[in-house]
Amino acid sequence: MPDRLHPHMPITRDGHVAVVTFDRPEVRNAFNLSMWRGLQATMEALSAEDDLRCIVLRGAGGLAFSAGADISAFAAERGDRAQEDVYAEVLHTSMQSVRLCRHPVVAMITGACIGGGAGIATMCDFRVGGPAMRFGITARNLGIWYPYAEIDPIIGLVGTAVAAEILIEGRIFTGQEAYEKGLLSRLVADELVESESLALAKRISEGSPLSARFHKAALRKLRGELPITPAEHLSVNGFVDTQDFRNAAAAFLAKRKPVWEGR
């Protein structure tokens, strides 16, 4: 396959390891709709490669793994329910392309790992970070309702009590706190995050790829299917019709605090 399937998502290789870089450092590697589609295309193409044994995801510039969704694009991409239904389906299939990838996936986390960026990280099989990183999901600050299928991996990692801290309280964890809560697989010095992530990927690639693929699929299978109906899945998109979401999106762009009306 080519060295990129999206202009902001180059792919490099070292033996059986592929490294995918989120390359929009000017906006802390935030994702717009095009990038969500690009992530899905990239992960599905890499998943199909029999010779590959591990994938590393990282952010460009060192200041962020990813700051999540590009809020400046909301007006064009998430302005009404019809648009949100499309956006939500793209985001869902993109996130799940990381989780469903045949090969183990390592998140190399430096700087901000926020919102959708944290969502991507929780879909990975391993997360490596340092003390200076920041992890959090800020959906509550925008009046957004986080999807069921993206909440489930968080509960699998840390349980409902910490998931409540993340989603309801809106906690932003340091790397040390993220490790203590179970969000990080490995905590190393900030300057060692890159080398440890790549060394981890190399160790994985030295094992049996068939064994790794079986165990990844087995762990997912044993988690079971979510007891959520299609209607319940779609109901999550209802936030886009609320005045709170509209107010919060405008407040973010104006760099002021939102006023919550509860409607």
User: Domain 11-193+205-213 maps to which CATH number in 3.90.226.10, 3.40.190.80, 2.60.40.10, 1.10.10.10?
Assistant: 3.90.226.10
Q: Which residues contact 81 (CB under 8 A, 6 or more apart)?
A: 237, 238, 240, 241
What pLDDT is recorded for position 253? 87
Confidence of residue 132 (pLDDT cuts 50, 70, 90): very high
C-alpha to C-alpha distance for 241 and 251, rounded to whole angstroms? 16
In what helix (H) or strand (E) does residue 64 lie, and over which residues does it extend?
strand 64-66
Structure token digits, residue 56: 């590393």
> pLDDT (tens digit, 9 = 90+) per residue, 196-238?
999 999 999 999 999 999 999 999 999 899 999 999 999 999 9
Domain chopping of the chain, boundaries: 11-193+205-213
In what helix (H) or strand (E) does residue 234 lie, and over which residues does it extend?
helix 230-235
C-alpha to C-alpha distance for 211 and 191, rounded to whole angstroms? 32
Task: Evaluate whether 60 touches 26 at the Cβ level (below 8 Å).
Answer: no
What pLDDT is recorded for position 70? 94
Q: Given the DSSP bridges, would you call strands 11-14 and 54-59 parallel, antiparallel or unpaired?
A: unpaired
> pLDDT (tens digit, 9 = 90+) per residue, 25-41?
999 999 999 999 999 99
> pLDDT (tens digit, 9 = 90+) per residue, 58-116?
999 999 999 999 999 998 999 899 999 999 999 999 999 999 999 999 999 999 999 99
C-alpha to C-alpha distance for 98 and 96, rounded to whole angstroms? 5
Q: Using alpha carbons only, how large is the chain's radius of gyration in Å?
A: 18
Confidence of residue 164 (pLDDT cuts 50, 70, 90): very high
Residue 2: pLDDT over 90: no
Structure token digits, residue 90: 């793209």
What pLDDT is recorded for position 117? 98
pTM of the model: 0.96
Residue 173: pLDDT over 90: yes
Work out the percent of the chain whose per-residue pLDDT is above 90.
Answer: 94
Mean predicted confidence (pLDDT) in 18-27: 98
Q: Which residues contact 85 (CB under 8 A, 6 or more apart)?
A: 234, 237
For tokens 């990381």, name the residue. 98
